[in-house]
Amino acid sequence: MSGVWYDRTAYKNAGELVFGSALRPLEFSNGMTIGGGLVHPEINFTLPSMSITADTMEEVRRQYREMTNDVCQRAVDLMLPGLVVEIELLPPLTLEPTWGEDVTKVVKEVLTDFEGRHQLTSLLRVTPVDIREGNVEHMWRGRQWDTLMDSFQRCAAAGADLLAIESVGGKHLHDDAVMYGDLTKSLFALSAVGCRDMGVLWKEISAAARDNNCIASGDTACGFANTAMVLADRGYVSKAFAAVVRVISAVRSLVAYEQGAVGPHKDCGYEGVYIKAITGTPISMEGRSSACAHLSTVGNIAGAAADLWSNESVENVKLLSAMAPVVSMEQLVYDCRLFNTATKRGEQLRLRELLTESDSHLDPQAYVLRPDVVIELSQEIVKGATHIQRARIAAERTIAVLRRAVKDGSLVMNEREQKYLDLMEGQLSAMEESEEAFVQRMLAENTTGDFDPQKYDL
């Protein structure tokens, strides 16, 4: 697997890792810059519950046109200078690439119209869904792979400025790891399997972006770390386990940048702050503004280093004030005004500190998003010579950092959660020193169920 290998972090100290500013900002021909000093809103909306068929595509296009028009009008009303719109294609819109192409065209037409009439600068991020999950014949060849690649090419040609995906390589294996609290299986799924898949996938996505003069933005560990986060919030798995998985997942998400992605990292990957620390690229984050999609314990701290601020996603349903996408748009605008006013007044670090301190002591998942912790762990992660080494370093060092935080009183963890630190440490100590031996054992132990090593040429 060829590509860039990050052996040092772009950021050297936590004081530089702030919202709205990235060491490698992205500048676009319409004058919009991400990571150049301002935090911009990234609005994401989707259809209400409905069937998507050839017979309903006219209604699908109408709804996307209406949603885009309404959020843009609210942005104009609130004097917003620019925004990013993300369309996460639903499975039928990816399985039928021409349908996803149609939606991309519709949304882009509205954005272009508002830019011309109201000088509302905008970018469009399109995220095909990873249709390879499930009964796929092979992850990198065959009908599902070809369809997914066709979707990227068509959406890029139809007007997408940014390409992204929430890929699922190794997810079935990782789902088992989460349910049983098996950290070594999680590590294997994210590094040995997930990184392998990411290497092939993002080489092709980056090529599609180059072919169509757009940007390969990034991937997320949504299906991995966010699954653990949501289950931890409901009390089904340990919060400490979910926090360690989050940091390990950064190793997997980093592969997109090794293979040509340049950002902004996608919103629902909270590990994006590690990507920013290591690569210097801008990131999209979501916190309290994403409660319409899922609950979390990182509602404020998620904004500490955000360059785009997202609502995750919301259905086009009527609320008391307006349609839900319009409501989300307004919430994002006011949050971004606060970010940007703090920067203008020279109080960027003060606001970042408040966002950080309000969450970080209450939950290990928030603690590992602290800028100082992110820099410390990132500097350790990049010392690894392989993806598996990096994942192991991430796990070991995160456990050590959480222990230290509990000891010095900067993190509150009950006895049950602290016992999981012991359990995870024991699992890691039982790992083989030889990567080859570790991989062979994990393959031998996981030959049944939904995970098929042959789909990854393992």
pLDDT tens digit sequence for 274-330: 999 999 999 999 999 999 999 999 999 999 999 999 999 999 999 999 999 999 999
- CA triplet 197, 202, 390: central angle to 5 degrees? 60
On whether residue 72 sits in a domain, the answer given is yes
In a domain, 112, yes or no: yes
Longest alpha-carbon distance in the chain: 63
What does the CA dihedral 305, 287, 351, 382 come to, rounded to 10 degrees?
A: -30
pLDDT at residue 389 above 50? Answer: yes
| 448 band by pLDDT with thresholds 50, 70 and 90 | low
Nearest-angstrom CA–CA distance, 316 and 312: 13
ω into 92 cis (within 30 of 0): no
337: in domain: yes
- What value does the mean pLDDT take over residues 118-132? 98
Angle at 397 between CA 392 and CA 398, to 5 degrees: 100
- What does the pLDDT read at residue 2? 58
Q: Does any domain span residue 7?
A: no
Domain membership flag for residue 2: no
Summarised one tens digit per residue, pLDDT across range 240-286 is 999 999 999 999 999 999 999 999 999 999 999 999 999 999 999 99
User: Does some domain include residue 117?
Assistant: yes
Bridge partners of 41?
Answer: 309
Residue span of the structural domain in which 202 resides: 14-449
> pLDDT-based confidence at 387, cuts 50/70/90?
very high
For residue 3, tell me if it sits in a domain.
no
Name the 3-class secondary structure at 309. strand
Pairing mode, strands 21-27 and 33-36: antiparallel
Q: Is the pTM of this model over 0.95?
A: yes
Domain count, the chain: 1
Mean pLDDT estimate for the chain: 97
203 within domain boundaries: yes
Do 200 and 140 meet the contact criterion of CB atoms below 8 Å apart? Answer: yes
